[in-house]
Structure 1
Amino acid sequence: MIKRLMILLLAAQAMLIGLMAGGLAWWWRPAWLAASGAPARAAFYLGCGLALMVSVRMLISANNFRLSARAGSPAPAGHALTPAGAARLFWHEFMSSMLTSSWYMLRPVGMLLQPRDRQQGLPVLLIHGYGCNSGYWRPLSKLLAAARISHCGVDLEPPGAGIDDFALQLRTAVERLQRATGSAQVILVGHSMGGLVARAYLRRYGAHGVARVITLGTPHHGTALAQFGPGSNAVQMRRDSEWLAALAQSEANSQRMLFSSIYSVHDNIVAPQDSSVLPGARNLVFGAIGHVALGRHPAVLRCALREIAGAGQPHTRDFV
């Protein structure tokens, strides 16, 4: 469903670019352009329409940073941003959002298996976040394939369903991956809401088939920006929601020991950013990385691969 919605959204954006280009050609006809040929004029106006559309997307991203800053938590010492660092943060997050929505999500990951005699480590189940599909995991999937790790991306449907409904779908995906690989245990990797889906799965079905849960930018205690999102899952992810409180009360400390929570103190969707700190888990903190960019930033991907490789080993101290 999300893939179809992305295709429709891209088609709508292409139409808007054409309409803006046509409107600009009717309203603005500079003398220096009149001497150019028709193809050059058409390319110029289409370029202007594309620039306007990109500007709108940039404004949306900038507004997310504004909202997250208003509800944000103080950045720890050592993570202060310089103006140049802030510019790099914004640009990388904007490009990550464009790539994810315009390319990655058009190519869902699906099941990618290694031959059993060549398979390395435990299989990995990738769980996307709010408003995404398994295509979000394209960068990590490439690294997992290179490491000969069997993995599968789950597509949670419908997009606005409750998180407990997604937990049921996750159970089906876990069992399917176990059968396909012959492994009794899997590793769960969830981005944003995907981490909460993993927690809901453990609450309902237990942890006997799970060796490690790795979350990226998950609002374990909710996010202020969830109030702007549609769907039952967005309501559940609001700050101090009843669903989050009940989830926390149901968890045993032994389950929390399975978790590694990777997050950024400059997350532009999870606010306050320390909402990603999960007591009892291994909390791994980064700076100068946005929410969507967590799924493709080289340092975060290296960290996730280390956590995957260390599944089944005892936790060490948190990294700050």
Structure 2
Amino acid sequence: MIKRLLILLLAIQIGALLALAYALYRWWHPAWRAASGAPWPALACLAVAALAVLLVRLLINANNFRLSRRGRGATPAAHALDRRGAARLFAHEFFSSMLTSSYYMLRPLGMRLQPRARGLPVLLIHGYACNSGYWLPMSKLLARAGISHYGVDLEPPGAPIDDFVPQVHAAVERLCEATGSTQVIVLAHSMGGLVARAYLRRHGAARIARVITLGTPHHGTALAGFGPGSNAVQMRRDSEWLASLAATEAYLQRQLFSSIYSVHDNIVAPQESSDLPGARNLVFGAVGHVALGRHPEIMRCALAEIKTATPV
């Protein structure tokens, strides 16, 4: 469903771009009559229209940073950014968002079995408003390491988080059957980490050797108030669902978790909401929320956590 919605959104953006380019051409054409037949007037209009569409996407990204800044926690001195660092953070996050929504998510993963697999297989769980295509860069890294993996697609996008648990359970069983393994490692981004916790609450940890979360709002995020869907409501700060999850899950299961997050996350605010008591918390800086799935340093950290996980 997300892939179809994404194709529709991309088609709308292309349509808006062409309509704007045509309007600009009609508006400016009288001044170009002397250059009749020359291709550059039409190309110039297309370029201006494309820049306008990119500017809208840029402003949306900038607004996320603005909103997260309003709800941010204290930034550790070790991760303080100067203007150049802040600019690099914004540029990398914007590029990651564009690449993810315009390319990665058009290519859902499915099952990726390796012929000479090493270690435990990995189940990849995407976050809010995404699909398994989000994990394309990580999938390539896992394949090079000889690790079998499976990217699950959670449907429908706005469902309550507990409704995703049966889908994750089926994916875990399918991955175990396909690989002959008795356990899997879960690597989850954003909301996917909460789905993993909900799975453990219902099914226990018999099939799970390790859970690695990237930018998961374990205690909610202020920006969830702007998102549609029941799952967005559940991810709000101090939501009843999050309180119930914390109260009913087995605390010993927290020892299975590695929570990787950035103090400059532009979706999770305050950023320390990703700090999960009882878990192994790994803190980074200068990385945005979407970029967590393709940032080289984060990917290397996640792979190291995967390689050190052993069956329990």
Q: Check the 8 A contact 1:33/1:41 in 2, yes or no.
A: no
Runs of 4+ in 1 over 3 A off after TM superposition: 28-34
Deviates more, 1:15-24 or 1:214-223: 15-24
| Correspondence for 2:132 among 125, 131, 134 | 134
Once the two structures are TM-superposed, the CA of residue 313 in structure 1 deviates from its matched residue by 8.4
| Correspondence for 1:311 among 289, 294, 309 | 309
Partner of 2:74: 74
Query: How much identity, in percent, do the aligned residues show?
Result: 71
| Correspondence for 2:118 among 120, 125, 150 | 120
Partner of 2:271: 273
The reply on whether 1:219 has 2:179 as its aligned counterpart is no
1:78 is paired with a residue whose SS is: helix
| CA offsets 1:234-264 (integer angstroms, 9 cap, x no match) | 0000000000001011122210000000000
Amino acid of the structure 1 residue aligned with 2:271: Q
CA distance in structure 2 between the aligned counterparts of 1:46 and 1:33, rounded to whole angstroms: 18
1:212 is paired with a residue whose SS is: strand
| Correspondence for 1:245 among 239, 243, 247 | 243
Q: Identify unmatched segments of 5+ residues in structure 2.
A: none
Change (3 A) 1:28 1:189: same
Partner of 1:45: 45
CA distance in structure 1 between the aligned counterparts of 2:37 and 2:82, rounded to whole angstroms: 46
Change (3 A) 1:252 1:9: same
Partner of 2:12: 12
Instruction: Count the aligned residue pairs.
Output: 312
Partner of 1:27: 27
Once the two structures are TM-superposed, the CA of residue 172 in structure 1 deviates from its matched residue by 0.3
Q: Identify unmatched segments of 5+ residues in structure 1.
A: 315-320
1:289 is paired with a residue whose SS is: coil
Amino acid of the structure 2 residue aligned with 1:82: D
| Correspondence for 1:159 among 134, 142, 157 | 157
CA distance in structure 2 between the aligned counterparts of 1:170 and 1:158, rounded to whole angstroms: 13
Amino acid of the structure 1 residue aligned with 2:54: V
CA distance in structure 2 between the aligned counterparts of 1:36 and 1:301, rounded to whole angstroms: 53
Deviates more, 1:248-257 or 1:226-235: 248-257
Once the two structures are TM-superposed, the CA of residue 39 in structure 1 deviates from its matched residue by 2.5
Amino acid of the structure 2 residue aligned with 1:258: L
Amino acid of the structure 2 residue aligned with 1:288: A
1:28 is paired with a residue whose SS is: helix
CA distance in structure 1 between the aligned counterparts of 2:83 and 2:136, rounded to whole angstroms: 30
Deviates more, 1:19-28 or 1:252-261: 19-28
Once the two structures are TM-superposed, the CA of residue 167 in structure 1 deviates from its matched residue by 1.0
Deviates more, 1:144-153 or 1:305-314: 305-314
| CA offsets 1:79-107 (integer angstroms, 9 cap, x no match) | 11100000000000000000000000000
CA distance in structure 1 between the aligned counterparts of 2:260 and 2:98, rounded to whole angstroms: 22
TM-score by length of 1: 0.95
Change (3 A) 1:33 1:84: farther
